[in-house]
Structure 1
């Protein structure tokens, strides 16, 4: 059973809630990036980018390697597993609801007689002049 109130889930979903942080994670999925490289696509300062990165670090999604003034970030996707498990917990609920909707729609289709298409009237162009 998935722990539905785990503090790590709060940090994970808080980190994933921001489009800038999600975009940074997409970049990191391609390989390690420096803070400057992660900040470049956005109109934010390095300090602003660093705050986003700190949030991702608190969620455990980023590992940062510091060598002198260069901070290199790497993706650690392991914490996403807990989020995926939490979402999977509700998959059964939604599948049940969608199966019930499908059954209702099929029953309605079966109860409604097939509608016949009305006979087409000949167009004025196709009538022969008498």
Structure 2
């Protein structure tokens, strides 16, 4: 399973970059509270901290997206990018499972566990050959 589709690694990164930039990175960076409401979060009366953390998270996602795009288009640092994707998938599974077990997140966030498990499996399947 590991690297079964490695010859398509750049295409996988390109599709993943475009879709996650549009669905996660840009909305979280530009309109974090709108994104949060769409995901089912209840917003507090004071939102400055939520906006700050949302924009910080969005900025980090955009950095990862830029690295993924560069690796997809040039092949540069493609192994490092896949290692980051693997780490992101594992840590986001942990974060979302914790929230689900504590019942402190909306259903949309619990359903993201499946997204990150899928990301983990696909990342392993598309792992670039050495």
TM-score tier after normalising by the smaller chain length = under 0.3
Bigger share in strand: 1
Between structure 1 and structure 2, the one with the greater Rg is 1
Q: Greater relative contact order: 1 or 2 (C-alpha under 8 angstroms, separation 6 or more)?
A: 2
Q: TM-score, normalised by structure 1?
A: 0.23
